[in-house]
Structure 1
């Protein structure tokens, strides 16, 4: 497989007044940067890199998705390690030590950061070796890799804590020079505070450690991390609101509709091709994702599932195939628990103080622990997404921002469409009901307020309901076939299939990357009875503009086809198949 380049940042974030040559980087690092197509650093890079390299300051940075935060900390880390290696003598036994730790909230983001890290160390791989310990590898293999003492380790906080507590001989942080916590707000949202406190006990003194705290948003919770890990940090905040007003090409719409009509609108949108390009569909739980996939299968619409139940290798491969345009509809389950953010939003509405905390139930904490290493609305690098469809509206305005941020990236245009269930429509159709829809109207009002503060507008999407109604009976027919039993069977079938494929991904495809295309994740599950006639849309149901384009112009069609005309001299048969003796007699 060919190598893929690091995704370019939006032109709105590029700082053309500075070049990478002026940052006095190692020639090998500079060559890696240029080979990935970077000519000028972004705003955050041009500010953070000199502060980290020349002044040795800790960095706390707030910048939007796509602004180049990853290279803003990778370049200083790599450059400083290269400088450190040059000061060591060739025979020094301490030449190989773990010098940098990069913590990220999810396994998917760990894989992405590790991929960028490998590209940046391509020409200095002998001096800087890296390891992603969050990948799905066995403990024996991991211990072997750790014996080589990689200079940079990428991990989730939970994985690093587990390694430090269970296998202290495999890793030592005594010589650690760098600690990076990427997507800090998401790390805190996922409930990693306790893990970070445990990691702090293994770290060397602050004076020997340089820290990078990177995030798309900064809140009060980050102050604890600042006191815990930083000495004298430089705090960088970029006014992304102004950039958004001028450069944001995201068109945002919402549709108020009933619960069953969500499925109806999805069918019409995808079957008639009303959305061009790739679509990322968000649902709020795993069953909803499979229900939507099975309903779309009834009409011959292919889609793919992404959720926390699937093995990490399969999830990474699904994202990779989606980015390579092998399928165009990805149904992603957003299981991120934004309980604390939701309480803060409610507190703001009611005029209460932000720091007033409501009691939290233990079962929510257990659910957080279950899914905290999986996150799809943040961190995962979905490329060239044309539309984000919020099939289920998120539970907070903050989560909405993270979801729609998957499109309209790097200066490209995009569309966000959200389905909103009015309170009076909630619960009317039990089979299609989602419990989170009870608060849709409240969440929508918060989202509209939030977007208006940024100078953006969320517009109601109007469509001709009469043209959609013609498809209702077909949707009712297809929806009835997708029972709860069918969903459960599909869930088990998909999980078994992906587990087998994950083993293949882990063993076989490392040696045979050319066969990677043989695995397709958008195959039909077929646990429900598929009615073939539903896959074709009758012409009379199509809107007038589409009806004309879909109807082929055949020209003159004769009443009889030439190949079926009776030819002279041949025996004619009756309808019953018997030969007429009068005509066949000689």
Structure 2
């Protein structure tokens, strides 16, 4: 019978307490893993004792290490107890929903194998390479295989791999996505090739009907861990919402990024591919460089884009969240009318021809991918499900680091007023936001309303209008084609040319200008008469919030804290957009008194 476990307060543990191999402990020390996270402290001892586990924990809580460490420990122990000849066998299979996540998991596990890489081998077969070309990799019988369900199912059917007698552990990461991505048939095939007895782990950020289905299908008398966030962890993420029209989203994102009101690296989520290029070209008008990440780009290019972002090569990445293309919905609302669901599932502002372009349906960016040191997540287009919102904001405030999210929500009465920049999913922003707000409230989190004083940013509007006029449909189409063609060339070079020619790194930059035509030099700089007077101090001087890596937004709820503040030192901690005319007003009052 399954037992339930929660995040009850236990004594702090060290990794040494789990009885892990000394080589694993040395690798963890090298990775600066000092103390196990809540998820790791619960899962590792249960996994080592042989239990099947169903674990729910937030994104960024350390789930990968939680299941990887027991898998590595079991295999090392098996190799020590067996003869060398008989120890060559595939003992663990890790299934993930996307190729990006497969690459990430493989890299993280390899880091844990640094001191035992000769004893234990892991391979990733989730890439684009044809099944038959991967056959030699599997012929060596790697100890751990990381892949997507569709790829491993193809290998098993082609008899490139036989794990009936050797598999000891099956891991399904991001289990709530596996079935919603259409892998049900592949899973049924995989299970028919597995031995009768093996240990299973299901890892998920949410508990859904799909997870319940997998639990019944795969797990045997599992331990169920429902590891909710602590209040301290919830405090690391500050959530804000801005209600505005569709065109004002472009105005506000221009002001936010150009005035550097958010410091550090930032992910901007949009809901379709055309939108990602429209936003990128718009920002280019002001010399704000960003890169685009979507399912049309080759797999190697997507790996490289994420790596470059994590290294800090560029600060802004515009990511297309395409979960709605895979049929992901909020469970309690799956019976919505077809007319409503069609508005979500249809990619916005894309022609029929564009819709037919080849996309990687194993692409995923809002789930699982480890974007490093992200200061903020901006939902430029509000997500189409509450589930997607959770995973988007999970890209920041990871580990013990603080972060913030800012979401643009378009009121229904303002939808469709600006058709040139309209997005079909926007029509249901308020409905989805209501679900999100309720969900966050139940968790003890609050989404703070933030109302920009539009009078303070009205001076930037004419520049925003000029920039949008330059971003035509033809410009978007040209940029989209140019990017895909260029990335195909880049991905070919990434295989061998880059190793032989490291100086070509600059050629592979993903934040280069896509469509330089009609970019006017004067748009790069903001005239002094438009610059907020207090913004200089808030951005350049270290305030009490700057250690997070961004300047906190101050919403209407913070007005009461501003009352009675008269000193410059206190005033500079307010939102620059709320107070940028303060310097001018003070000078006028002084002149009046003198007169």
TM-score, normalised relative to structure 2: 0.82
1:281-339 CA distances to partner (integer Å, 9 max, x unpaired)? Answer: 00000000000111111111111101111111111111111111111111000001288
Q: 1:138 to 1:335 in 2, by over 3 A?
A: same
SS in structure 1 at match of 2:488:
helix
Are 2:488 and 1:493 aligned? no
Determine the C-alpha separation between the residues in 1 that align with 2:530 and 2:285. 17
SS in structure 1 at match of 2:40:
helix
**Which of the residues 79, 97, 107 maps onto 1:105?**
97
SS in structure 2 at match of 1:235:
strand
**Which of the residues 41, 47, 55 maps onto 1:52?**
47
Are 2:290 and 1:296 aligned? no
**Which of the residues 118, 122, 137 maps onto 1:130?**
122
Are 2:251 and 1:264 aligned? yes
Equivalent residue, structure 2, for 1:388: 377
Unaligned runs of 5+ in 2: 1-6, 348-354, 540-595
Q: Do the aligned residues in 1 keep the contact of 2:180 with 2:210 (CA within 8 Å)?
A: no
**Which of the residues 417, 420, 423 maps onto 1:428?**
417
Are 2:88 and 1:96 aligned? yes
**Which of the residues 332, 345, 363 maps onto 2:319?**
332
Determine the C-alpha separation between the residues in 2 that align with 1:308 and 1:467. 38
Please identify, of 340-349 and 472-481, the stretch whose mean Cα deviation from structure 2 is larger.
340-349
1:453-495 CA distances to partner (integer Å, 9 max, x unpaired)? Answer: 1111112212221121111111111111111111011000000
Q: Do the aligned residues in 2 keep the contact of 1:277 with 1:386 (CA within 8 Å)?
A: yes
Equivalent residue, structure 2, for 1:194: 185
Equivalent residue, structure 2, for 1:374: 363
Equivalent residue, structure 2, for 1:37: 32
Q: 1:114 to 1:499 in 2, by over 3 A?
A: same
SS in structure 2 at match of 1:189:
coil
Equivalent residue, structure 2, for 1:147: 139
**Which of the residues 297, 300, 305 maps onto 1:318?**
305
Q: Do the aligned residues in 2 keep the contact of 1:179 with 1:212 (CA within 8 Å)?
A: yes
Q: Do the aligned residues in 2 keep the contact of 1:248 with 1:411 (CA within 8 Å)?
A: no
Equivalent residue, structure 2, for 1:576: none
Determine the C-alpha separation between the residues in 1 that align with 2:236 and 2:403. 6
Equivalent residue, structure 1, for 2:3: none
Q: CA deviation at 1:227?
A: 2.4
Q: Do the aligned residues in 1 keep the contact of 2:131 with 2:155 (CA within 8 Å)?
A: no
**Which of the residues 247, 266, 270 maps onto 1:279?**
266
Q: CA deviation at 1:516?
A: 4.2
Please identify, of 25-34 and 266-275, the stretch whose mean Cα deviation from structure 2 is larger.
25-34
Determine the C-alpha separation between the residues in 1 that align with 2:284 and 2:521. 10
Equivalent residue, structure 2, for 1:233: 222
Q: CA deviation at 1:412?
A: 1.7
Are 2:9 and 1:17 aligned? no
Determine the C-alpha separation between the residues in 1 that align with 2:233 and 2:276. 35
SS in structure 2 at match of 1:302:
coil
Equivalent residue, structure 2, for 1:211: 200
Q: CA deviation at 1:514?
A: 7.3
Determine the C-alpha separation between the residues in 2 that align with 1:347 and 1:331. 28
Q: 1:526 to 1:16 in 2, by over 3 A?
A: farther
Q: CA deviation at 1:349?
A: 10
Q: Which has the larger radius of gyration?
A: 1
Q: 1:347 to 1:108 in 2, by over 3 A?
A: closer
Q: Do the aligned residues in 2 keep the contact of 1:98 with 1:151 (CA within 8 Å)?
A: yes
Q: Do the aligned residues in 2 keep the contact of 1:101 with 1:154 (CA within 8 Å)?
A: yes
Q: Number of residues paired by the alignment?
A: 523
Please identify, of 379-388 and 171-180, the stretch whose mean Cα deviation from structure 2 is larger.
171-180
1:243-266 CA distances to partner (integer Å, 9 max, x unpaired)? Answer: 045652222111111111111111
Q: 1:26 to 1:430 in 2, by over 3 A?
A: same
Determine the C-alpha separation between the residues in 1 that align with 2:325 and 2:127. 26
Q: Do the aligned residues in 1 keep the contact of 2:293 with 2:318 (CA within 8 Å)?
A: yes
Determine the C-alpha separation between the residues in 2 that align with 1:434 and 1:360. 13
Equivalent residue, structure 2, for 1:565: none
Q: Do the aligned residues in 1 keep the contact of 2:277 with 2:476 (CA within 8 Å)?
A: yes
Determine the C-alpha separation between the residues in 2 that align with 1:544 and 1:22. 56
